[in-house]
Amino acid sequence: MSLDKYVRSINKEKCEDCKFNNKQLKPRPIIIIPPPDTPKIMLISRDPTVDFIPIYEYSKRYSSDEMRRMLFSAAIPHNLIVQITKFCRREKEGLKESMKNLFKIFEVAYWTHLHKCPTDKENKFTTACANKWLRKEINEAKEEGIQTMVCLGKDVERWASKNIFTENIKIINLPHPSRRNPIWYTRDNNKKMEIKKSIKRLIELC
């Protein structure tokens, strides 16, 4: 089964014990962002929120490529590029030419989540969703040629460290690219060095 077919087979009705399968909740779509034809990188963030639903539903009228570009531009992938750019500028990293490669994320990255249904304050994410779907999703991604997994945020990093065997796949950990995430502005030199190394690895792969 291809990666695209697998993610489209994810069905909320099969999540018997999940609170998001509660029929009293307003229906929420499972968020599936189409992969590119030749994906190289897998971006994993924690969970989409209900605020993402309107643009997600609107994007469905376009082709898979156009849909992916629209969603990347509106959310996490674009935010990641912005945070990396700002971080490198503050740290005066000499990566000006290489930074252009970051936008290749729009061409080579497949973006997915630990939690497939949009969350809100009352209905928060759990790792049960990742345990049921993401392990297989990663295996399918490896079959498609993805060799690198970028974990965005501590929740994804923790889940991956316990569930993903690193043979045949590289793991890059970066802070979640939320504008409110203070880690991007840390004064801890050791933490800065970790972020710099991860950024350099990501740029080299793009």
Residues 170-202: tens digit of each pLDDT: 899 999 999 889 999 999 999 999 999 999 899
Q: Is residue 161 part of a domain?
A: yes
- Would you call 119 helix, strand, or coil by DSSP? strand
Q: Is residue 65 part of a domain?
A: yes
Q: Is residue 75 part of a domain?
A: yes
Pairwise CA distance, residues 174 & 145, whole Å: 22
Q: Is residue 22 part of a domain?
A: no
pLDDT of the residue at 168:
77
Q: Is residue 121 part of a domain?
A: yes
Q: Is residue 19 part of a domain?
A: no
Residue 93's alpha-carbon distances to 9, 116, 130, 195, in angstroms, are: 43, 36, 35, 12
Task: Flag whether pLDDT at 129 surpasses 70.
Answer: yes
Pairwise CA distance, residues 180 & 112, whole Å: 21
> In terms of residue numbers, what domain contains 142?
3-9+29-205
H helical segments located in 45-153:
53-59, 64-74, 76-90, 105-108, 128-129, 135-143
Q: What is the CATH number for 62?
A: 3.40.470
pLDDT tens per residue, range 57-67: 999 999 999 99
Q: What is the mean pLDDT of residues 17-42?
A: 82
- State percent of the chain over pLDDT 90: 57
DSSP 8-state assignment for residue 114: S
Pairwise CA distance, residues 43 & 111, whole Å: 5
Q: Is residue 154 part of a domain?
A: yes
pTM for the predicted model, two decimal places: 0.92
Q: Looking at the 3D structure of the chain, how many domains does it have? A: 1
Phi, psi torsion values for 119, nearest 5 degrees: -110, 170
Q: Is residue 21 part of a domain?
A: no
Task: Flag whether pLDDT at 18 surpasses 80.
Answer: no
